[in-house]
Amino acid sequence: MTLLKEPDFGTPAKDGPASVSLEVDGMRVSVPEGTSVMRAAAMAGVDVPKLCATDRLEAFGSCRLCLVEIDGRRGTPASCTTPVADGMVVHTQTPKVAKLRENVMELYISDHPLDCLTCAANGDCELQDMAGAVGLRQVRYGYEGENHLDAVKDQSNPYFDFDPSKCIACSRCVRACDEIQGTFALTIEGRGFDSKVSPGAGESFMDSECVSCGACVQACPTATLQEKSVIQLGMPSRSVITTCAYCGVGCSFKAELRGDEVVRMVPHKDGGANEGHSCVKGRFAFGYATHPDRMLRPMVREKITDPWREVEWDEAIGTVARRMLEIRQRHGAGAIGAITSSRCTNEEVYVVQKMVRAAFGNNNVDTCARVCHSPTGYGLKQTFGESAGTQDFRSVAQSDVIMVIGANPTDGHPVFASRMKQRLRQGAKLIVVDPRRIDLVRSPHIEADHHLQLKPGTNVAVVNAMAHVVVTEGLVDQSFVGERCEGFDEWAQFISGTENSPEAVESITGVPASELRAAARLYAQGGNGAIYYGLGVTEHSQGSTMVMGMANLAMACGNIGRDGVGVNPLRGQNNVQGSCDMGSFPHELSGYRHVSDDAARKVFENLWGTTLLAEPGLRIPNMFDAAIEGTFRALFVHGEDIAQSDPNVKHVLAALGAMELVVVQDLFLNETAKFAHVFLPGASFLEKDGTFTNAERRINRVRAVMKPKSGRHEWDIVCQIATAMGYPMQYDHPSQIMDEIASVTPTFTGVSFDKLDEMGSVQWPCNEQAPDGTPIMHVDAFTRGLGRFVPTPFVPTDERSTRRFPLILTTGRILSQYNVGAQTRRTANIAWHQEDVLEIHSHDAEVRGIEDGDEVTLASRVGATTLHAQISDRMPTGVVYTTFHYPVTGANVVTTENSDWATNCPEYKVTAVQVTLAHPVSHLNGEAAADRELAVGLVD
């Protein structure tokens, strides 16, 4: 249910020309073949009463409210399940159907609580609406008969209640869980009068397989499934369309409020990325924005061991500016820099990088994409000419073969995963390349045709072997390659080498050669082949190489430049794509133009009235190295928690501790803030006006529903710092910042807030050549002209298992928590994940005397931490897995300095470790122990 009601046409739209003409209540309408009579009527402006039908679900025909009469046909067919026919004449309002509808409603109401006035759904209830629509005036059955009014509520889910006494058994919730979400957690138990909605096999919602996406709540026409927030706070009174601030899917939501209190977030049906669907995080976990932990006043301190002192904004901004200038004066312009946020808006990121380049006077700006998808930027730029994915999310609906490499979309990109699963249930083939048996390998009605369960660190060997098969077995799309690419002959010669054959790499990768050959053939010959990949590709010492390897494979098979194909990075954060687009890289200006590009630099120099450096600045890992060296002394950290999220935490903490000035702008006092001298309170997405860019290059509007709780907009704070440092920066509204971005960035020239308000969202490039944006890239030509094949020799990582550290640790995420958990740990999502655990295979556990739930020490050559073990057969032997959502786990204490050769993206996915039953820390002694106690205390 929702406040801002989008039109509901009753049944899904059908594709094709409007070739069938019919008459509904005297009005002519033409619709595509296969359209239901109900939808055709709605398109003619006639709303046929309905309860079980909604245009997000396939027709079901159970409520019997939508009956109509059709000339020449017997009886009163249900309009939702009756397809149109040419020349059909439909009557939706006749005495006969009116009487039948009234009778149906009488039956429903005879077994329904009559507490409308106190019901949470009062005013937002389709049952109420239909009672009015059919003119219900009496219930002749009375209320004394058998009924369900005593049915027990299920309040187990932290976000919504299930009240079966109000259920009309329309099955919308069951169908939503099946068709939209793809979890199949709900069913109708029993038959006839005993029919009831049941999660799982009679379990509670919380104990069932329900993933709390809210699709059932959204679909429910009554108050049966109702948000607890609506029950407690009442119906919202206004609605603002905005964009989720969690993952890179970028779901569009209606923030529904009473005053400026958010009552609920309802997925927006017209959202380009999500089309009305959501996951537990975006739908329900917004409470962090008003959590008591929110810091709302600026604070300063001289030393990081001093207590914080609250100050006014002017003093805080003045302190930052004064100290930055003073450090620059003493140590040079290269001694200061900033890290931008992948969670803040494009406009905020743009002004931070502008502050660094124009006010700080250097290129020492980097973004958290450094530690996740920077290899995507490098690899796709080298091969295709553009640092972004090639398709829109809708494209997956045309895929015949879907290859998921190093990604776990059901957890990391759940709304996109639901789309993918819809296509898979329709028959598309699935290849999963992952050391773990992720949920997608085998889930309801889906089974991977091939699960290549490779050893961590061998991605490039696998993709090379697949390409070897394609080339040596004559499966290359010669016409695509000949017309659209260059460098093929040299690459083909390289990839044909026997060292790249599946047989040669089998012992390295652990993937049987026959399985690999079959997967390669499927990808090459199965029709539209699409690759979706994540950090299991990029966070490796050959991350960039692997991205190029996938691009090579896609080009060789002609799988670029149309719907259903492509190379698609699943970018993790809500605006990591945007932060890259905005030039928050030490080597690139906005639009991915190198700082050495004189023409590009001139554009900014002219506009900004200053000279910019032509040499790259410090990347994040280099900032840490330089800080320890003593040459990098001040850092502005915008909306990032590098002390928790970056690898080799000991090194990061040493770097932070070495700096003279650390400024943190964030919602909460996070791990990094423990090393800060100035804390500037940030604003949540509910308080911001701006844009986010998601993984499909879709620029979405973010609209404030309340004023910033700190009293200042984040972009304004940054501008004031720059101004106080002597470089005036002033805007009246974020739309002006976007106008500036558009004026200097060729791929954004058509973008403006007005355009986004008009179109809803737009995918860049959006310019003269593509005024309505670009859903699919490289259609007629690659951005660089011809696609470039790049040889990708496999080089094993230096991080090998040894006798001392015989296991390999890989890390990842789960559905209910997000990144470092700063947001989700402050919501009821902790109900699903109270701590990070170590997943370990039963064999590895047994030889170590470890049982399920035991506390274990996870140690690498750089650090150790303790956490609880979970025996899991999802992991192969020799590989262990954990998440990094809780700072107390310190998962990144054990990850190392190894990184991608091209971009320095850390190799989070391969760390040699040992796991042992935990013991007290008793081996520390003397000064070393004191130092480490301090470090531990600071970390905690």
Q: Can you give the binding site for other proteins, defined by CB under 8 A?
A: 334, 363-364, 494, 541, 545, 586-587, 594, 596, 615-619, 622, 625-626, 631, 650, 791, 793, 795, 798, 802, 804-805, 834-835, 853, 855, 859, 861-866, 868, 888, 890, 893, 896-897, 901-904, 918, 921, 923-924, 928, 932, 935-936, 939-940
As measured in angstroms, the least distance from the Cβ of 790 to other proteins is 9
**Nearer to other proteins among residue 206 and residue 862 (C-beta):** 862
Long-range contacts of 586-590 (CB under 8 A, 24+ apart): 586/363, 586/364, 586/365, 586/366, 586/616, 586/617, 586/618, 586/619, 587/363, 587/616, 587/617, 590/350, 590/353, 590/741, 590/744, 590/745, 590/748
Phi, psi of 731 (to 5 degrees): -130, 155
DSSP annotation string for 381-423: HHHTSSSS-SS-GGGGGG-SEEEEES--HHHHSHHHHHHHHHH
Helix (H) or strand (E) holding 911: strand 911-917
CA distance 752 to 90: 45
Specify whether the CB–CB gap between 680 and 338 falls below 8 A: no
Decide: residue 565, CB within 10 A, 0-12 exposed, 13-18 middle, 19+ buried. buried
For residue 785, list its beta bridge partners.
782
As measured in angstroms, the least distance from the Cβ of 487 to other proteins is 11
**Nearer to other proteins among residue 394 and residue 587 (C-beta):** 587
As measured in angstroms, the least distance from the Cβ of 629 to other proteins is 8
As measured in angstroms, the least distance from the Cβ of 488 to other proteins is 14
CA distance 537 to 377: 13
CA distance 55 to 176: 11
As measured in angstroms, the least distance from the Cβ of 494 to other proteins is 6
CA distance 371 to 543: 11
**Nearer to other proteins among residue 299 and residue 365 (C-beta):** 365
**Nearer to other proteins among residue 425 and residue 587 (C-beta):** 587
- DSSP letter (8 states) at residue 550: H
As measured in angstroms, the least distance from the Cβ of 333 to other proteins is 11
Structure tokens at 459: 């991605």
**Nearer to other proteins among residue 289 and residue 918 (C-beta):** 918
CA distance 858 to 865: 5
- Nearest Cα to Cα of residue 178 among 443, 457, 384: 443
As measured in angstroms, the least distance from the Cβ of 893 to other proteins is 6
As measured in angstroms, the least distance from the Cβ of 513 to other proteins is 24
Q: 478 CB contacts (<8 Å, ≥6 apart)? A: none
As measured in angstroms, the least distance from the Cβ of 901 to other proteins is 4
> Within a 10 A sphere around the Cβ of 924, how many other Cβ atoms?
12
**Nearer to other proteins among residue 171 and residue 542 (C-beta):** 542
As measured in angstroms, the least distance from the Cβ of 768 to other proteins is 29
As measured in angstroms, the least distance from the Cβ of 933 to other proteins is 10
Q: 454 CB contacts (<8 Å, ≥6 apart)? A: 433, 434, 435, 461, 462, 509, 510, 511
DSSP annotation string for 488-503: HHHHHHHHTSGGGSHH
CA distance 465 to 880: 25
**Nearer to other proteins among residue 272 and residue 617 (C-beta):** 617
Specify whether the CB–CB gap between 189 and 174 falls below 8 A: no
As measured in angstroms, the least distance from the Cβ of 288 to other proteins is 21
Question: Across the chain, which distance is largest between two alpha carbons, in Å?
Answer: 96
Phi, psi of 493 (to 5 degrees): -65, -45
**Nearer to other proteins among residue 420 and residue 891 (C-beta):** 891
Helix (H) or strand (E) holding 598: helix 598-608
- Nearest Cα to Cα of residue 363 among 604, 682, 724, 568: 604
Specify whether the CB–CB gap between 530 and 363 falls below 8 A: no
As measured in angstroms, the least distance from the Cβ of 209 to other proteins is 21
Structure tokens at 102: 């009234």
Q: Give me the half-sphere count of Cα atoms (radius 13 Å) on the Cβ side of residue 674.
A: 20
Q: Position 465: which residue type?
A: A
CA distance 529 to 553: 10
**Nearer to other proteins among residue 129 and residue 897 (C-beta):** 897
As measured in angstroms, the least distance from the Cβ of 656 to other proteins is 16
Structure tokens at 368: 């958290």
**Nearer to other proteins among residue 779 and residue 921 (C-beta):** 921
CA angle, 186 then 188 then 194, to 5°: 145
As measured in angstroms, the least distance from the Cβ of 622 to other proteins is 6
As measured in angstroms, the least distance from the Cβ of 188 to other proteins is 35
Q: What is the 3-state secondary structure (H, E, C) of 43-103?
A: HCCCCCCCCCCCCCCCCCCCCCCCECEECCCCCCCECCCCECCCCCEEECCCHHHHHHHHH
**Nearer to other proteins among residue 707 and residue 804 (C-beta):** 804
**Nearer to other proteins among residue 467 and residue 626 (C-beta):** 626
**Nearer to other proteins among residue 492 and residue 686 (C-beta):** 492
**Nearer to other proteins among residue 34 and residue 796 (C-beta):** 796
Structure tokens at 457: 């660190």
**Nearer to other proteins among residue 502 and residue 543 (C-beta):** 543
Q: Position 410: which residue type?
A: T
**Nearer to other proteins among residue 549 and residue 708 (C-beta):** 549
Give residue 884's Cα distance to chain centre: 17
CA angle, 606 then 772 then 244, to 5°: 85
- Nearest Cα to Cα of residue 273 among 372, 173, 413: 413
Strands 566-569 and 529-533: parallel
Give the CA distances from residue 38 to residues 6, 79, 145, 276, in Å, rounded to whole numbers and listed in that order. 17, 5, 33, 21
As measured in angstroms, the least distance from the Cβ of 313 to other proteins is 33
As measured in angstroms, the least distance from the Cβ of 626 to other proteins is 6
